[in-house]
Amino acid sequence: MQIIREREIDLLLAGRAGVDLNTTRAGCTFSEIPSFTKSVGGSPANIAQGAARLGLRTGFLGKISRDGMGEYILETFRKAGIRTEGMVVDQTGARNCIALTEIISPEQSGGYTTDGEAFHHGTYLYRTGTADLLYAPEEVNRTLLGQARAVLLSGTAFSQSPSREAMFEILHLARELGVWTVLDIDYRPFGWQSREETAQCYAQAIAQCDMVIGNREEFDAVEYLTMPQNRDNEKSARTLIEQGVQLVIVKDGAKGSVGYTAEGDIVRCGSIATAAVKTFGSGDAYAAGLMYGLLREKGLAYAMQLGTACASLALTTISCGDAMPDFTAAEAHRAAHEEGMMP
């Protein structure tokens, strides 16, 4: 399946749009944080903001709370030029997902746990019964979806019902409407009932996708029932391609990323050495840059390089959504490090 060139929207994102409360100081525990700043967050929301900042015509499918936070999300997206007709306002009183960030060090900045009886530190995520998880299949905006060239779905949106069924409805309609389908595996243990459930659900979703993005840990979650001992990235990619996926992107941190195509091509991209402030948000920035390059038909190698440049820049600031670079900054960073990213 080829990406359709002429449609009103380049990229739709589907899943969670929440509110991030970002620490204003790195290098300290929660009790020492003096204050927070707010931004719109959640992996698909970050990608939407990043893609729009790069210059893609972007929209969003999902559900938000009927309160000041939901209003803030809509206002932020509209100011960014992100189309919001596909965003449903909850009527049940459900609240928005909230994430509070704590950055003790770059390595201790995302979701991590401590040993023994010590307190947990990292990102504090509140996502029980939130509006985004109440997004239902009948609420999917078919008209908006049909105006898109591609739709990227976040794997966390599959973790609970009815959001799970809404994501499958998007995949079904996208196939019918000729929309390129992308799954960002985005595996997080919370929300899922078991690893078996996770693997089964991902397998059903991947069977309907043209493109899959993930890191080694995320592919391990996908393969939990079928290849639990596998750690071979190429084997993971080829297995998905045999199932009909056209493009698989495997991210491997400091080692860079590798793209595998259905035509048999393997494209490698090194990383950019970066003085990171934190680790979270870089994958979202990578996805935004990657999708820009692909939808602008710049070629896979360029797309992966631009994604890597965006990820590198996102690592240098505290927030996520606000850390997404514009095209001028991202392209300059890519060009400056192009030689080092080549295999």
Q: How far is CA 249 from the centre of its chain?
A: 13
From 26-30, 62-66, 298-302, the region with the lowest mean pLDDT: 26-30
Decide if pLDDT at 113 tops 60: no
Decide if pLDDT at 98 tops 60: yes
CA distance 223 to 239: 10
Amino acid at 335: A
Report pLDDT for 191: 85
Report pLDDT for 112: 46
CATH class of the 9-17+43-94+133-341 domain in this structure: alpha beta
Q: How confident is the model at residue 114 (pLDDT cuts 50, 70, 90)?
A: very low
Closest CA to 61 of 99, 16, 118: 16
Q: How far apart are the first and last CA of the chain?
A: 28
> Are the beta carbons of 109 and 278 closer than 8 angstroms?
yes
Compute CA distances 168 → 58, 273, 310, whole Å.
Answer: 21, 38, 29
Decide if pLDDT at 12 tops 70: yes
Report pLDDT for 321: 83
pLDDT tens for each residue of 192-221? 999 999 999 999 999 999 999 999 999 999
Helix, strand, coil share of the chain (percent; to 5) = 40, 20, 40
Report pLDDT for 152: 98
CA distance 225 to 247: 22
From 61-70, 109-118, 153-162, the region with the lowest mean pLDDT: 109-118
Decide if pLDDT at 317 tops 50: yes
Q: What is the pTM of this model?
A: 0.95
CA distance 327 to 332: 8
Compute CA distances 60 → 6, 16, 68, 109, 328, whole Å.
Answer: 19, 10, 19, 27, 24
Q: What percent of the chain has pLDDT over 90?
A: 83
Angle between helices 327-336 and 300-314 (to 10 degrees): 110
Report pLDDT for 110: 64
Q: What is the mean pLDDT of residues 241-246?
A: 97
DSSP summary character for residue 298: -
Report pLDDT for 108: 65
Q: What is the mean pLDDT of residues 16-22?
A: 96
pLDDT tens for each residue of 117-173? 566 777 888 899 999 999 999 999 999 999 999 999 999 999 999 999 999 999 999
Token pair belonging to 320: 């996520």
Decide if pLDDT at 268 tops 50: yes
CA distance 298 to 338: 14
| Coil, helix or strand at residue 250 | strand
Token pair belonging to 216: 């080694």
User: Average pLDDT of the chain?
Assistant: 94
| Coil, helix or strand at residue 2 | coil
H helix intervals, 209-337: 216-222, 233-242, 282-295, 300-314, 327-336
